[in-house]
Chains A and B, each alone.
Chain A
Amino acid sequence: MTPLIEANRVSRTLADPEPFTLVCDASLSVAPGEMVAIVGPSGCGKSSLLYLLGLLDRPTSGSISIDGRVTEDLGEAERTHIRLERIGYVFQFHFLLPELTALANVALPMRRLARLTGDQIAERAAALLEKVGLGDGAGKRPERMSGGERQRVAIARALANDPAILLSDEPTGNLDSANTRMVIAEFQRLAHEEGRGVVCVTHDATVAAAADRRIHMLDGRIVAGD
């Protein structure tokens, strides 16, 4: 089976102001239906690796393939399109657009992809909110939601274009234990029931324990994995 993500000896070095290696020689692969946690101390390069895997950043060396497609030589437009279509992001801070309702936030990626009609988009956005337990909150703006609700909207938005890959950066960092359990359960369901590849950067031992595999990083390197 082709891995959803395959990173091969990926490094990322900042040249300015002084040379600094964020990620060094990292190799990993994520298969469909797999939930992988990347763990390690702060500043070890977890988030940097996630941005590389999600095509938000380009490696200084090494290669990353998404769905078996090598991405180094792709132009920015193609990489952006892959992000739009194949990758969903969930961050520690929900990053919902404060001007838009929950429904409008979830609809954003679908409207940009423009594969569905307006009615279909509204229907799917409502269904996604329902799925994360926010069926009643579709018309709410982020300012009127709790932290857990916002994060659930962010998950629904990440799933809007039905991506094969879900990348999350400290998704439970701002959540209480009940919401943390809800997020973990949702990630597991997305991986195990829907066959998506879920990569989760986390400090949270509960999240790490819930993952199928854990990758440990230190000083930019992958030092262990199970």
Chain B
Amino acid sequence: MKGLMVLLDVAAAHLLMRVRQTVVAVAGVGVGVGFFLAVSGMMIGSQNDFIKTLIDSAPHIVASDEQRSAARQPALDAFPQAAVTVRGVRPQDEVRGLKDWPALLADARAIPGAVAAPTLVGAVAVRFAGRTEAVSLNGIDPRIEGKLAKIEESLIGGRLIDLEARPDGIIVTRPMADRLGAHVGDTLVVSSSAGTLQRMRIVALVDPDARAGFYAGDIAGYGLLRTAQVLFARPNVVNQIHVRLPNPQTAERDAARLEARWGYKWVSWEERSRDILNLLVVRDVIMYAVISAILVVASFGIYTAVSNSVADKRRDIAILRAMGFTERDVQVIFLAEGLAVGLIGVLVGFGLGTLLLEALSHAPLTMGGKPLVLPLDRGLRQYAVAGGASLVAALIAAWLPARKAASVDPVEILRGAA
């Protein structure tokens, strides 16, 4: 734009002549942006940490021997255009377990980078020293299961691979062991609904406080797949396939594709955690509403600064107009003032926000007696959102008085001054 620099110079001169008001307006924006970054950094950091835990705590996709709806009757498929009513249908009793599971497993493993493992899950009762507890026993392949979830990092007293060395080995959670009064090395009596009794020795405990991103609940237990098959009297049967993907974000799409092909229910981590994820969306909305309010309040400072500038400079506006500056020129001058305050405020806010995040990352916090490091999001996205929102707020705040300045009638001012 021709002659733009002169407009910017006039805007800068206005701001520099009103240093105190300019500093207050800049500080308002700076504090707003700084706290936006600190609050959103904490909220999004904790949210990302939570979602990561959700993703890591269990396989990304779990296929089970269930179907979302009963199988269609052949007559409906045979006459797709006809009005067919099938009465008195009783679904056939299905044999539990995934049919042709090696093929399902191979298909899941065909996803590039994916890891998949067969699992047999069933309920057992464990008895020790006169106490009995219910356990959901997962018969697993320890070599593969360790790659599916961060179970290994949550173990105390032993390792996952120990299950291979001891086919009668079992891993239970520490709270479960505490309730039973058992320790690593103790032998539990395990009985299944099939009536099989087996003595199993605790080879490790899952520690819920490990914060390794893995914990499937107090009643989860782990043993060898073939041991579980013997215990449940279901040789060569698996009722779940656990899949870990290289990119968790494709879980929903991959699960839908596998489900469409095989009919069984393939549940992604997103579907499994839908309610929690919906809650997080609500949390996000509330967070952005509150911290946006900070920015809006900060923009009031800009509005006040530019408004006062317009009120003080009515004579200058009149003479500029008389000299041949257009209404748009005048508007640009005052918009530039608001934008400059916003821009400097944003830069100050970036510095303040970075300092606040740094301070929060070193805050001496504890949880359950252990040091707690706040998960913080320091992504550029938050800086861009805070900066962009502040500049837009600054422009809007400056636009109203700038428009008023542009509409100043120079004759009215000059006549009044004469």
**A-B contact number at CB 8 A:** 84
The verdict on A92 contacting B418 (CB below 8 Å), with A80-B326, A111-B5 known, is yes
Interface residues of A in 125-141 (CB under 8 A from B): none
Contacts of B324 in A (CB 8 A): 80-81, 83-85, 87, 109, 112-113, 161
Instruction: Name the residue among A91, A92, A93, A95 with the largest chain B CB count within 10 angstroms.
Output: A95
The answer to whether A56 touches B323, judged by C-beta atoms less than 8 angstroms apart, is no
Other CB < 8 Å A-B pairs besides A83-B322, A99-B13, A169-B414, 8 of them?
A56-B321, A81-B324, A92-B417, A93-B315, A95-B315, A99-B10, A99-B17, A111-B3
The answer to whether the Cβ of B329 comes within 8 Å of any Cβ in the partner chain is yes
CB distance from A22 to the nearest CB of B (A): 9
- Out of A76, A77, A95, A113, which one reaches B3, CB within 8 Å? A113
The answer to whether A109 touches B323, judged by C-beta atoms less than 8 angstroms apart, is yes
Interface residues of B in 387-418 (CB under 8 A from A): 410-411, 414-415, 417-418
* 9 closest cross-chain pairs (CB), A and B: A84-B324, A99-B13, A111-B6, A95-B319, A83-B324, A114-B3, A112-B3, A99-B17, A114-B2
Which residues of A line the B interface, CB within 8 A?
47-48, 51, 54, 56-57, 76-77, 80-81, 83-85, 87, 89, 91-93, 95, 97-100, 104, 108-109, 111-114, 157, 161, 169-170
Contacts of B320 in A (CB 8 A): 108
CB distance from A141 to the nearest CB of B (A): 10
Contacts of A81 in B (CB 8 A): 324
Main secondary structure of the interface of B (DSSP, over half): helix
The answer to whether B414 touches A56, judged by C-beta atoms less than 8 angstroms apart, is yes
The answer to whether A56 touches B3, judged by C-beta atoms less than 8 angstroms apart, is no
Instruction: Name the residue among A51, A57, A80 with the largest chain B CB count within 10 angstroms.
Output: A80
Which chain A residue has the least Cβ–Cβ distance from B15? A99
The digit string for B303-331, where 1 denotes a CB below 8 A from any CB of A, is 00000000000011011111111110100
CB distance from B305 to the nearest CB of A (A): 15
The answer to whether the Cβ of B60 comes within 8 Å of any Cβ in the partner chain is no
Contacts of B415 in A (CB 8 A): 47-48, 51
Instruction: Name the residue among B6, B315, B316, B324 with the largest chain A CB count within 10 angstroms.
Output: B324
